[in-house]
Structure 1
Amino acid sequence: MFHDLLGIEVLEVKEGFARVKARVEREFLNIHGTAHGGFIFTLADVAFGLALTSSPH
């Protein structure tokens, strides 16, 4: 899965909720030496997707 390529770990998923974590590796830094926005938004997107699909429709 895509999130595995970035080292995103799924910690918890329950109805409407997800908790994930990832280590910011050197490859994920921007020119200022902080986490790249794309990496942060991907982390949020993974959590949002898991929480959304865990909810009954």
Structure 2
Amino acid sequence: VIERVCAESGTSYDEVDITTDPALVKKYGEQIPVTFVDGAQHDFWRVDETRLRAALAR
């Protein structure tokens, strides 16, 4: 979902493997996948396409 929405909107994204960083595992381990938009946590567990599109359009 993220790859498709970003490609369609011309937005770049970074994928981070939190399992390589104990601090990130502790903070987000129960919320995978975690999505951030403009540096702020946007969503977790499930990527909602409509919500992601709306957030990227702002």
Question: What TM-score does the superposition give when structure 2 sets the normalisation length?
Answer: 0.28
Whose radius of gyration is greater, 1 or 2? 1
Question: What TM-score does the superposition give when structure 1 sets the normalisation length?
Answer: 0.29
